Amino acid sequence: MDWNTYLDQNQARFDAELMEFLRIPSVSTAPERADDVRRAADWVRRRLRAAGMPFVELLETTKHPVVFGRWVTGDSKPTLLLYGHYDVQPAEPLDLWESDPFQPDERDGKLFARGSADMKANLSTLIQAIEAIAKTSGALPVNLLVLCEGEEEIGSPNLPDIVRQRKDQLKADFALSADGGMQDASRPSLSVGLKGIAGCQINLRSGETDLHSGSYGAAVPNANQLLVQLGATFHNHDNSVAIEGFYDDVRPLTDQEQAAIAAIDASDSDFLEESGTFELWGEPGFSALERRWTRPTVDFNGIWGGFQGQGAKTVTPCEAHLKLTCRLVPNQDPRTILGLIERHIEKHTPDGARVTIDRMKGSAHPFSLDMNAPALKVAAAALQEVYGAEPLYVRSGGTVPITGVFKQELGLDTVTIGFARPGSRAHAPNEWFVLSDLAVARRSYATFLTKLGEI
Amino acid sequence: MDWNTYLDQNQARFDAELMEFLRIPSVSTAPERADDVRRAADWVRRRLRAAGMPFVELLETTKHPVVFGRWVTGDSKPTLLLYGHYDVQPAEPLDLWESDPFQPDERDGKLFARGSADMKANLSTLIQAIEAIAKTSGALPVNLLVLCEGEEEIGSPNLPDIVRQRKDQLKADFALSADGGMQDASRPSLSVGLKGIAGCQINLRSGETDLHSGSYGAAVPNANQLLVQLGATFHNHDNSVAIEGFYDDVRPLTDQEQAAIAAIDASDSDFLEESGTFELWGEPGFSALERRWTRPTVDFNGIWGGFQGQGAKTVTPCEAHLKLTCRLVPNQDPRTILGLIERHIEKHTPDGARVTIDRMKGSAHPFSLDMNAPALKVAAAALQEVYGAEPLYVRSGGTVPITGVFKQELGLDTVTIGFARPGSRAHAPNEWFVLSDLAVARRSYATFLTKLGEI
């Protein structure tokens, strides 16, 4: 039997396995979900073992374990390092979901669940593709290493150290990340760029205690007002970032990179509709696609202070908070950017306020793949075979922190192949994945592995 | 027995009654506390009956009942309308309390409990003073009417209508509000001014759903950022209010009013220390006392949007909210001010945002008492007798909405006598009232009632 037939015959079981995986609420940022996160790690470990991988273990960290696997079948074969993550974003706000985020629900050919697009469907189909090849050919076309973490959604605070510590065990020729998506529903995509990330929480205090807004409000600072005042200094009127030096290290795109972006058929109006926002926004002089792929940002992910309940409470609050993250592009450095942010805050903290800054655990360098890398060419050939169409070379505004680490520490170029469609609501309520794409994903991963063995 | 002796002999019982009253968490803004609010209303009703008041009933409203009492003992006597409220502010944030807000705790001669300063101690001592006079003299020196509401802390949405509907039953010569405090620990105070209030909640949306800050953030609006941008337009750099027309109707103080304020010994540095803030704040050209008593404000009581949990969630939020209230001075009109706010928001709403505004239920006109009003002179004489010191004529940045209504609808000047000391943390964690002031309050109220009968 060839692996194609095996995939067809086992499709129902494979789909059911994904449902099982999606039912585990592996929210890495929530301390009360730690046991569930570990259950998801163990699910991956057992699934890799069942696929035939002889050696799979959980590497402990200060938080969530890393699944580490190794399957070496011949010294002459190339070695591929596979990367994925088994954790998911929080599902809140729950009232905006049309079905339980952790009870996968099929509607209109889509599977709705937290983690479906990002990235449990990709991860499970990749493992299933490995099983299909192994069970039908007896041996793998390549040697495999697996690193699957449970902390991607909190910025991968531990995986980089593990990579550094285990350099010897991680020698490979190429890396494949399954944490990606598609630019177009009908043509395959290959990612050649990811943004980096850095962030912090600003904690502003104006005094020791909340005060009566009548007795005090006219004569004492209001923490909410001071935070609003400070927050308003982060962007210019034209929506560009106002932090001094923020754009200094942004490298201009090469001609080849610009041509690849120009080849994408993406209209601002389609993106507006898909986003569900009322108007587009961003730096002047760039299309929405250019902003998303190539321009760095400062985003206010959360703000809070004072009374949020029903009705009124006439309080002058003494503390307020702001969570912000920056998406970074080559060659911005996360630490440099955090330094600039801290200097900006210091300079713009209003009179009457005291500010502390908690740096976000985990940060990531932006990632850029040479468009002539050999593994990228194999991936392009594999996807062309499955889809019957040439792949698009795309970028993402998202972040997969580990790709930068693989390059820096292991000298590896990471090819990203993933199947989340545009608009699939990763990180948002009602996240989805197209059911029929599960079979396409399995076939694509198997083709890539097979072709990689022929290099 | 005279009422003085009666007060002494019943002090322990009277104090215990207050503890019982403070244990009822009558938080008027919290829907889940509605039953407790009603229990507090019933406590007041029963307590007035026990003092001897022949007629006391609960007037139902769309929310919390008003306690209405009447005790007419002679047509030739003057009639006094008593005003108080039995509701309290929410106790949140609970973790900042050193003892349970609804289990009164005695420490260092102070009674710590939500509602102790605002205003259950005043209300219970006033009722106890009435009892003392009634039980020892057989008849009251004045006819009494009582209006005690459970919605003062949410802006008295229903009491004004009740006053309008029952004008005939509320004919009186003077009004006494027990909702007040002291300017100085050693000298009595009489209030000649209160601020008005108006407020709203701003609800800002930038789209239909929260979005991934990587895939979307660079090209779509972020509701938190737009709200911060809008919020920053409400104040000028010198801390004055930037809403067009906001100060237009502010009436300059009379010479007599200015002299009364100048007579107050209040230093900015004492106020700074007492407030627990790091620096003072406010409009330039005014002392802290002038700001608190005579200048109108816009306060941001609450702000929230996006992710507030532990860790990070890289979301571009689609909605954010801001609660604000204005404290108003003569002759600002709450409705006019809300209109100006709405026009301001309309003018400053950033591109990409849609804003709806919920007007706060309840608003109040500012109140100013003629310093030559007869009841004010009686009150001054009564307090001078108890304290052996001339009273100070003070104002408050706080709001007692009903005083404006009593003037407008019933033609009554309201004298305010209350005993909350400066710094007693009304509306804030660890609210307190000095235990030994309970006896002083009872004696003061009884002296006032007696002297008023001699007019």
Q: Are residues A352 and A419 in the same domain?
A: no
Angle, vertex CA B380, rays to CA B375 and CA B386, nearest 5: 130
Q: pLDDT at position B158, please?
A: 93
The chain A residue lying nearest B358, using CA atoms, is: A311
The chain B residue lying nearest A427, using CA atoms, is: B212
CB B371, CB B334: distance < 8 Å: no
Residues A393-429 have pLDDT tens digits of 999 898 887 888 998 899 999 999 999 998 899 989 9
Residues A426-455 have pLDDT tens digits of 989 999 999 999 999 999 999 999 999 988
| Nearest CA distance, B2 vs chain A (angstrom) | 38
Q: Which residues contact B428 (CB under 8 A, 6 or more apart)?
A: A209, A210, A211, A212, A315
Give the closest residue to A29 by CA, choosing from A119, A123, A151, A115.
A151
Q: Are residues A220 and A351 in the same domain?
A: yes
Q: pLDDT at position A315, please?
A: 95
| Nearest CA distance, A10 vs chain B (angstrom) | 34
Task: Give the helix/strand (H/E) hosting B22.
Answer: helix B11-22
CA distance B40 to A69: 66
Residue A65 has pLDDT above 90, yes or no: yes
DSSP letters along B341-393, please?
Answer: HHHHHHHHPPTT-EEEEEEPS--B--EE--TT-HHHHHHHHHHHHHHSSPPEE
Task: Give the helix/strand (H/E) hosting A47.
Answer: helix A34-51
Sign, CA dihedral A406-A410-A413-A415, equals: negative
Of chain B residues 44-83, which have a CB less than 8 A from chain A?
none
Residue A366 has pLDDT above 90, yes or no: yes
Of chain B residues 420-439, which have a CB less than 8 A from chain A?
425-430
In this structure, which amino acid lies at residue B432?
W
> Among A288, A306, A312, whose Cβ lies nearest the Cβ of B29?
A312
Give contacts of A396 with chain B, Cβ < 8 Å: 214-215
**Mean pLDDT (chain B, rounded):** 95
Q: State whether residue A320 sits within 8 Å of chain B by CB.
A: yes
- The answer to whether the Cβ–Cβ distance between A279 and B314 falls below 8 Å is no
Q: Are residues A243 and A382 in the same domain?
A: no
- The answer to whether the Cβ–Cβ distance between B313 and A427 falls below 8 Å is yes
Q: pLDDT at position A311, please?
A: 86
Q: pLDDT at position B265, please?
A: 86
Q: Which residues contact B302 (CB under 8 A, 6 or more apart)?
A: A224, A305, A306, A307, A308, A313, A315, A317, B321, B322, B323
Q: Are residues A405 and A353 in the same domain?
A: no
Residues B341-367 have pLDDT tens digits of 999 999 999 999 999 999 998 788 999
Structure tokens at A302: 């959360």
Beta strand B297-306 pairing with A297-306: antiparallel
Give contacts of B430 with chain A, Cβ < 8 Å: 209
Provide the whole-model pTM. 0.79
- Whether B34 is covered by a domain: the verdict is yes
- Whether A239 is covered by a domain: the verdict is yes
- pLDDT range class, residue A206, cuts 50, 70, 90: very high
Q: pLDDT at position A326, please?
A: 98
- pLDDT range class, residue A45, cuts 50, 70, 90: very high
Structure tokens at B425: 């943390």
Q: Which residues contact A144 (CB under 8 A, 6 or more apart)?
A: A53, A69, A70, A71, A72, A79, A80, A82, A130
Q: State whether residue A167 sits within 8 Å of chain B by CB.
A: no
CA-CA distances (angstroms) from residue A11 to A62, B66, B170?
37, 69, 81
> Among B310, B325, B397, whose Cβ lies nearest the Cβ of A31?
B310
- Whether B291 is covered by a domain: the verdict is no
- Whether A274 is covered by a domain: the verdict is no
Give me the residues paired with residue B55 across strands.
Answer: B70
Give contacts of B305 with chain A, Cβ < 8 Å: 300, 302-304
Would you give the end-to-end CA distance of chain B in angstroms?
A: 24
What DSSP state is assigned to residue B420? Answer: B
Structure tokens at B372: 């030559």
Q: Are residues B304 and B175 in the same domain?
A: no
Of chain B residues 372-391, which have a CB less than 8 A from chain A?
none
CA distance A122 to A86: 10
Q: Are residues B414 and B447 in the same domain?
A: yes
- Whether A277 is covered by a domain: the verdict is no
Q: State whether residue B348 sits within 8 Å of chain A by CB.
A: no
Structure tokens at B4: 């003085």
Sign, CA dihedral A344-A346-A352-A353, equals: positive
CA-CA distances (angstroms) from residue B378 to A370, B174, B313, B316, B385?
89, 11, 62, 62, 11
Q: State whether residue A5 sits within 8 Å of chain B by CB.
A: no
- The answer to whether the Cβ–Cβ distance between B278 and A207 falls below 8 Å is yes
Q: Are residues B371 and B384 in the same domain?
A: yes
Q: Are residues A423 and A440 in the same domain?
A: yes
Residues A247-283 have pLDDT tens digits of 999 999 989 899 999 999 889 999 999 999 999 999 9
- The answer to whether the Cβ–Cβ distance between B305 and A304 falls below 8 Å is yes
- Whether B279 is covered by a domain: the verdict is no
> Can you tell me the ipTM of this complex?
0.80
CA distance A61 to A277: 39
Q: Are residues B13 and B85 in the same domain?
A: yes
CA distance B70 to A44: 76
Residues of chain B with pLDDT under 70: none
Q: pLDDT at position A42, please?
A: 98
- Tell me, what CATH number does B216's domain have? 3.30.70.360
Range of the domain at B326: 196-250+296-359
State how many domains chain A has. Answer: 2
- Domain end, chosen from A359, A382, A397, is at A359
- Tell me, what CATH number does B416's domain have? 3.40.630.10
Q: State whether residue B231 sits within 8 Å of chain A by CB.
A: yes
- Domain end, chosen from A337, A359, A381, is at A359
Give contacts of B283 with chain A, Cβ < 8 Å: 218
CA distance A54 to B69: 85
The chain A residue lying nearest B97, using CA atoms, is: A209
- The answer to whether the Cβ–Cβ distance between B154 and A209 falls below 8 Å is no
What DSSP state is assigned to residue A167? Answer: G
Q: State whether residue A292 sits within 8 Å of chain B by CB.
A: yes
- Whether B273 is covered by a domain: the verdict is no
Q: pLDDT at position A74, please?
A: 84
CB atoms < 10 A from the CB of A274, how many?
11
The chain B residue lying nearest A226, using CA atoms, is: B232
Give contacts of A93 with chain B, Cβ < 8 Å: 210
Q: Are residues A33 and A176 in the same domain?
A: yes
CA-CA distances (angstroms) from residue B433 to B257, B266, B383, B419?
29, 21, 19, 8
Task: Give the helix/strand (H/E) hosting B147.
Answer: strand B143-149
> Among A322, A323, A327, whose Cβ lies nearest the Cβ of B218?
A327
Percent of chain A at pLDDT above 90? 84
The chain B residue lying nearest A240, using CA atoms, is: B218
Q: Across the A/B interface, how many CB contacts are shorter than 8 Å?
A: 369
Q: pLDDT at position B7, please?
A: 97
Could you identify the residue written with the tokens 């033609």?
Answer: B411
- Whether B25 is covered by a domain: the verdict is yes
Q: Are residues B9 and B21 in the same domain?
A: yes
Over residues A222-226, mean pLDDT: 98
Structure tokens at A278: 């009322």
Q: State whether residue B338 sits within 8 Å of chain A by CB.
A: no
CB A280, CB A288: distance < 8 Å: yes
- Domain end, chosen from B316, B339, B359, is at B359
Q: Are residues A13 and A161 in the same domain?
A: yes
Give the closest residue to B359 by CA, choosing from B372, B340, B376, B378.
B340
Structure tokens at A274: 């898909």
Give contacts of A360 with chain B, Cβ < 8 Å: 312
